[in-house]
Structure 1
Amino acid sequence: MLSRIGNSLFWMGRYLERSEHIARYTRVQYVASVDSPLAHNQENVLESILHMTANWEGYFQTQQQLEANAVINYTAISEDNSFSILSYIDRVRENARGARDSISIELWEAINSFYHKINAYAAAGLHAEEIEYFARRIEENSYVMKGYIDNTLLRNDVWQLIYLGMHLERAIQIILILQTKFKDREKMLSGPDYAAYENFIWTSTLLSVESFDMYMRCQKTAPDKHHVLNFLLFDTAFPKSVAFSLNTVKQCINEISFQEEKKQGFIHFEAGKLACNFQYTTVKDIEENPVEFLNTTLESIYALAHLLDAKYLKYN
């Protein structure tokens, strides 16, 4: 396979996963703020959205203050923001078009239809209160496209590269969400409403990763730092956990036709090492300094993505 096509498939999967997580996080944070503890005011919510979506600096280059409609529009549908959901959907379509001969017509039509639906929002604008409807459409269409990926593609390098991109990005997004929620939590560590806020922040974290229901079934306890970290980082049976995603990344890399030795510095070795680190790490090992563990893990995932890009997917 040409590296150009492989690059398009890989990034199509990444941008699809990224747009879904950003849409869900924005929706959950903004909507849940209505019922949150008083200390979790709208300004904190808007700051959290901008930090998680990497839009903080860009937003304040065009705006003087935090304002709900402005933040939601900039995050969701701004054509001038390369980190907006709309921009990521545009890239999903562009990458799918770059690999048009490798994917099914059903998948292409679903992506193309999704692209035109979402772009219709850009002309009309988006009020903050409409983020619930807008984000739900992003999430639903993302699952439609994933259904076509699973049910219309051969299990060859095409499918493996898309899945590799999706699960690599999923691990990244879950870690970014956890990092952001720890920042949110730090603001309230000494506040009078801390006890109520602690439960709220971990509940909203689970909702942002679409994990609350399965968490309650598996952990059978109110959300807290210990149990949420254990579930979202280390539960190998849950498809939204980092451990599950990194194991899938390893499996995809093992299945793709990379011609190389399996030793240090090569993609098979580094992917396996990263997945195994999670296999033999427990939540008790990281509880004293979870933020440092999240930072180190994210750096390792980015390094793996860079290695993959530099060796196999980069083209002139």
Structure 2
Amino acid sequence: MLTRIGNKLYRAGRYLERAEQIASYTRVHYLSTMDAPSPEFKDSFLKFLLECTQAKQAYFDTYPEAEEEKILHFLAIEKANPASILSAVTNARESIRGARDCISAGLWEHINCFYHAINDYDAEKLNQKSFDNFAQKVEKYSYTIKGYVHSNMIRNEEWKLLSLGFHLERAIQVSTLLLNKIQEIERNSSSAKPEVYEYYHMKSMLEGLDAYEMYKQHYKTHISRPLFMHFLVLNSIFPKSVAFNLNHIRTLCREHDENDQGEANIFLQQVALLVSEIEDVEPGLLVGNEKHYLENTLNNLHSLAKSLELEQVAF
């Protein structure tokens, strides 16, 4: 496979996953503001969404005030915002277009329909249909596309590169959101009821990742900070945890290790090091050190992504 084509498939996987994750946690977090403890908390929550998508600076370069309607528009369909859902879907379509000879007509049609359905929204339609409706449409299209990829594609290089993009982006998105959550919790630590804010943030994140029910089924107890961190970072059987996705990336790389390709082997070593660092963590030691640990993990994940794109590893 040409490395140029491989890079397009990998990028398409990342953009598709990014669109889904932003839509999911933005929708749930926005709905949760209806039950916010105070108006100030709701305002901080909306700004938090901008921080999570790394769109805060771009937003305030465009708008002077943090207004609910404008924030949702900016995150959903603002073409000038490279972190918007529409931008992610557009980039996914353009990436996959460059690799059409390597994918089925069915997969292209699914992604093309996804793009047109989202691009059809303007400010008026977004307000009329509601952000919740828009985000759910994004999630459903993403589920359909990933279901098609995993149910219909043979396990060849094309499938592996798309999957690599899915898993790496999910690990980055979860780590980013989790780091921002911990920082937000710490900022509210001196409030009148810090435990209320902590619980509110942890529950909203679990719900935003569609993980709340799984958390309760797995631990059979209330939400606590140590278990919250364990579930989203260290739990190797939960599909959205950092550990789970890194393990899958390692598996994808190991299947091609026998080819002894230089760049692929270096990438595999980087992944293996990250996995071993997570496996060696004592869950109890994370309490109070979450911010430092997550910053380090996120830096390592971004370095992993950067080295992959620089080397353009061909499996």
Q: TM-score, normalised by structure 2?
A: 0.94
Residue matched to 2:52? 52
Q: How far has the Cα of 1:261 moved from its partner? A: 4.9
CA displacement at 1:272 relative to structure 2: 1.1
Given that 2:234 and 2:279 are in contact with CA atoms closer than 8 Å, whether structure 1 keeps it comes out as yes
Aligned-residue offset at 1:277: 1.5
Distance 2:185 2:110 in 1: 39
Relative to structure 1, is the Cα distance of residues 33 and 168 closer, same or farther in structure 2, using a 3 angstrom cutoff?
same
For residue 84 of structure 2, what is the aligned residue in structure 1? 84
Residue by residue, what CA displacement relative to the aligned partner does 1:98-118 show, whole Å, maximum 9, x if unpaired? 111111221111111111000
Inter-CA distance 70–298: structure 2 relative to 1 (3 Å threshold): same
* Equivalent residue number for residue 25 of structure 1: 25
Structure 1 vs Structure 2 CA RMSD? 2.0
CA separation of 1:86 and 1:262: change in aligned 2, threshold 3 A: closer
- What letter matches 1:268 in structure 2? L
Residue identity matched to 2:261: E
- The one-character-per-residue Cα deviations of 1:260-282 (angstroms, maximum 9, x if unpaired) are 3599x811211111112212223
Q: Indicate the SS of the match to 1:266.
A: helix
Aligned to 1:271: 271
The answer for the alignment partner of 1:71 in structure 2 is 71
| Preserved CA contact (<8 Å) 2:13 2:163 | yes
Q: Which amino acid aligns with 1:211?
A: A
Quote the offset at 1:259 in angstroms: 4.0
Distance of 1:248 and 1:78 partners within structure 2: 33
Equivalents in 1 of 2:255, 2:6: separation in Å?
A: 14
Q: Distance in 1 between matches of 2:123 and 2:62?
A: 19
- Give, in whole Å, the separation in 2 of the partners of 1:50 and 1:181: 13
Q: Following TM superposition, by how much is the alpha carbon of 1:183 offset from its aligned partner in structure 2, in angstroms?
A: 2.2
Q: Which residue of 2 aligns with 1:36?
A: 36
Whole-angstrom CA distance in 2 between matches of 1:181 and 1:293: 14
Q: What count of residue pairs does the alignment treat as equivalent?
A: 313
TM-score normalised per structure 1: 0.94
Q: Distance in 2 between matches of 1:182 and 1:39?
A: 21
Cα gap change, 1:125/1:55 in structure 2, threshold over 3 Å: closer, same or farther?
A: farther
Contact 1:33-1:40 within 8 A present in 2 as well:
no
Q: Is the Cα contact below 8 Å between 2:179 and 2:294 reproduced in 1?
A: yes
Does 2:286 correspond to 1:295? Answer: no
Q: Secondary structure at the match of 2:14?
A: helix
Gapped regions of structure 2 (runs ≥ 5): none
Counterpart-to-counterpart distance in 2, 1:195 and 1:38:
15
Structure 2 counterpart of 1:35, which letter? D
**Contact kept in structure 1, 2:73 and 2:123, CA below 8 Å:** no
- Residue 78 of structure 1 aligns to a residue in which SS? coil
- Sort the Cα spacing of 1:186 and 1:155 in 2 relative to 1 into closer, same or farther, 3 A: same
Shift of 1:147: 0.6
**Paired residue for 2:223?**
223
Q: How does 1:1-316 map to 2 (within 5 A)?
A: 1-38=1-38, 41-122=41-122, 124-127=124-127, 130-256=130-256, 259-261=260-262, 266-312=266-312
Is the Cα contact below 8 Å between 1:198 and 1:224 reproduced in 2?
A: no
Deviation string 1:218-273 (CA, Å, 9 cap, x unpaired) is: 1112112111101111111111110000011111122247643599x811211111
Distance in 2 of aligned mates of 1:40 and 1:166: 35
When residues 40 and 149 of structure 1 are mapped into structure 2, their CA distance, relative to the original with a 3 A threshold, is: farther
Distance in 2 separating the partners of 1:77 and 1:113: 16
1:293-316 Cα offsets, whole Å, 9 max, x none, are: 0000111111111111112259xx
Q: Structure 1: which amino acid aligns with 2:304?
A: L
- Residue 43 of structure 1 and its aligned partner are, at CA, apart by 1.0
Q: Could you say what secondary structure the match of 2:108 adopts?
A: helix
Q: Equivalent residue of 1:268, what SS?
A: helix
Amino acid at match of 1:260: Q
Q: C-alpha separation between the residues in 2 aligned to 1:259 and 1:248?
A: 20
Q: 1:166 to 1:240 in 2, by over 3 A?
A: same
SS of structure 2 residue aligned to 1:136: helix
Distance across 2 between alignment mates of 1:66 and 1:128: 21
- Tell me which amino acid in the other structure corresponds to 1:207: E
Q: Displacement, 1:288?
A: 2.6
